[in-house]
Amino acid sequence: MKEAVGICPCGSGRAYASCCGRWHDGPQYLQAPDAPHLMRSRYSAFVLGLADYLLETWHPSTRPAALEPDPPGLKWLGLQVRGSRQETEDAAFVEFVARTRLNGRAQRLHEVSRFVREQGRWFYVDGEFR
């Protein structure tokens, strides 16, 4: 599915290959430079069905064994990053709203996600729904 991506799903307005695609592929795989970039790349991975990337960027302490595929009919509609806060050099929070539609019904996920950096790599830990 990635091959057909033009504009990045994360809403940056940039080409996928020079935005989140660079974190999904290549030698820099899994090495987004900060929590907001990792969060955006994870959103794009959800849109594109990149379960391996999502699991690899999920902190081992909270990572599920597997991810269920999106339910049939789910459409990802967009991402709004509301803000980010760097707590320490290796800990950050990103607040976002992701919009979806399932079977004609609009839904939104409003979350403040927690990220940590270990050995130079950022990981999603968990989130608090708003």
- What 8-state DSSP symbol labels residue 1? -
Report helix, strand or coil for 60. coil
- Can you tell me which residue has the tokens 């809403």? 11
Domains of the chain, residue spans: 2-129
Helices (H), 1-130: 21-24, 35-48, 51-56
Indicate the pTM of the whole model: 0.93
**What's the pLDDT tens digit per position in 46-96?**
999 999 999 999 999 999 999 999 999 999 999 999 999 999 999 999 999
As a CATH number, domain 2-129 is 3.10.450.50
Report helix, strand or coil for 120. coil
**What's the pLDDT tens digit per position in 92-111?**
999 999 999 999 999 999 99
